[in-house]
Amino acid sequence: MSKPLACCINPSILSADFVNLEAELARIANADAVHVDVMDNRFVPNLTIGLPVVERIQQVSPVPLDAHLMIADVDRWAPLYADAGLDSVTFHVEASDAPIKLARELRARGAKAGMALRPATAVEPYLDMLPELDMLLIMTVEPGFGGQSFLDVTLPKIRRARAAIEGSGVNVAIQVDGGITEETITRAAEAGANIFVAGSAVYGKPSPEDAINSLRAKGQLAFGQAGR
Cα separation, 164 vs 192, in Å, equals 11
What are φ and ψ of residue 172, in 5° steps?
Answer: -120, 130
Helix H or strand E encompassing 65 = strand 65-70
177 binds Co ion (CB under 5 A): yes
| Cβ-Cβ contacts under 8 Å for 125 (sequence gap 6 or more) | none
* Partners of 92 in beta bridges: 116
Indicate if 177 belongs to the active site: yes
Report the residue from 79, 114, 179, 208 that binds ligand 5SP according to the rule CB under 6 A: 179
14 scored as a contact of ligand 5SP (CB under 6 A): yes
Kindly tell me which residue out of 79, 99, 114, 146 binds ligand 5SP, with binding defined by CB under 6 A. Answer: 146
Among 40, 87, 134, 177, the one annotated catalytic? 177
144 belongs to an annotated ligand binding site: yes
- Residue 15 contact, options Co ion, ligand 5SP, none, Cβ 5-8 Å cut-off depending on partner type: ligand 5SP
Residue nearest to ligand 5SP (CB): 199
Query: Left, alpha or beta for 143 (phi > 0: left; psi -120 to 50: alpha)?
Result: beta
Walk across the sheet containing 65-70 and list its strands: 8-11, 195-198, 173-177, 135-139, 112-117, 88-92, 65-70, 34-39
Name the residue among 61, 5, 71, 9 with its Cα closest to residue 38: 71
Mask: binding to ligand 5SP, 17-46, rule CB under 6 A, as x and -?
------------------x-x---------
Q: Can you give the binding site for Co ion, defined by CB under 5 A? A: 37, 68, 177
Annotated binding site for a divalent metal cation: 35, 37, 68, 177
Q: Can you give the binding site for ligand 5SP, defined by CB under 6 A? A: 12, 14-15, 35, 37, 68, 141, 143-148, 177-180, 197-201
